[in-house]
Amino acid sequence: MVMLSPTPGRNRKTMAVGIPTVDLSQDRSVVIELIIKACQEYGFFKVTNHGIDKEIVERLEDEAVDFFSKPASEKQRAGPANPFGYGCKNIGRNGDTGELEYLLLEANRLYISKRSETISNDPVEFSCAANDYVQSVKELTCEILDLVAEGLWVLDKHVLSRLIRDVQSDSLIRINHYPAVNEVKEWDPSPKTIGFGEHSDPQMLTILRSNDVAGLQIQLQDGFWVPVPPDPAGFYVIVGDALQVLTNGRFVSVRHRALANSHKTRMSMMFFGAPSLNTWISPLPEVVSPNNPSLYKPFTWSEFKKAAYSLRLGDTRLDLFKTP
């Protein structure tokens, strides 16, 4: 694996870095130790032996392939993506753009809706595929959050997963489609074709799955960018801003980006696990002490979301909520 310089093009130093991988079928105590270490050092890891059926992933992937292969005018019927639906090139509300198109949907409201009718000729089929996928990745998110709570010696072991299981949870699902480009340099140290610019995810935890096309990169705490090798059979776990706050900065919300300079079409599917809009977010009592006071002012998820959407994609929005 290669590690890229933080200032691409200038200093071409490379180093080998491994992406932390957690085999969920191992002994529980080993799994917990590996997850805590990965969340603290990288805010990112891959899970294998996660128990999610391949067929569940492939059904939603097939639906998405069908949708993105439609003519632009038809896809536009499912847009714009503000707040939910089909989006093309525009990201958020403040002028960010990328070389991608996508579907952004509320994970808790995937019933057979008018929206499904604009996405698929068989809305029941689409809704079922999306629902089954969401159920599976939500379970995985909750399982990981329970392991995290146990690893942090939190008394109420389900305090984090309960936020995601809440029927009012503001979790989202996103399917990104990065079209292939014709001319690609074998190895480009200063990538120009940004599919999705660098950012951290505002939510608690993101579960990402991609097809076998590379593009995802994560930024290490020292600023180096590391390409993440694709693994369609695994899931990648991304620590978001809200979990950084809940752990009082013990976990880091990893900055990541997606390049789109591949000969092959890349497709990724993300589940963003978030609490309900009125949930107060502040460090868990077990991670604060007189020697380790809270680094953040309490805020509701709704306030944080509002701040995130008022800023640019790459802004470090947590700065607004730091204690003086």
Residues annotated catalytic, as ranges: 266
How near is the Cβ of 169 to ligand GA4 at its closest, in Å?
Answer: 13
Q: Which residues of the shown chain bind ligand GA4 in the complex (CB under 6 A)? A: 91-92, 94, 96, 104, 172, 174, 199, 201-202, 272, 308-309, 312-313
How far apart are alpha carbons 208 and 307 in whole angstroms? 24
CB of 140 to ligand GA4, least distance (A): 18
Which residue, 44 or 146, has its beta carbon nearer to ligand GA4? Answer: 44
**Of 45 and 304, which has the nearer Cβ to ligand GA4?**
304
- Cβ nearer to ligand GA4, comparing 151 with 202: 202
Residue with smaller CB distance to ligand GA4, 91 or 144:
91
The nearest distance, CB 205 to ligand GA4, in angstroms, is 12
> By Cβ distance, which residue is nearest to ligand GA4?
92
Are 227 and 187 in contact, with CB atoms under 8 Å apart? no
Provide the minimum distance between the beta carbon of 241 and ligand GA4 in the complex, in angstroms, as a whole number: 9
Q: Can you tell me the distance from the alpha carbon of 258 to that of 270, in angstroms, rounded to the nearest whole number?
A: 13
Query: What Rg, from alpha-carbon coordinates, does the chain have?
Result: 19
Report the distance separating Cα 177 and Cα 265, nearest Å. 7
CA separation for the pair 228, 283 (Å, rounded)? 30
* Selection from 169, 146, 168, 167 nearest residue 156 by Cα: 146
**What percent of the chain is helix, strand and coil (3-state, nearest 5)?**
30, 25, 45
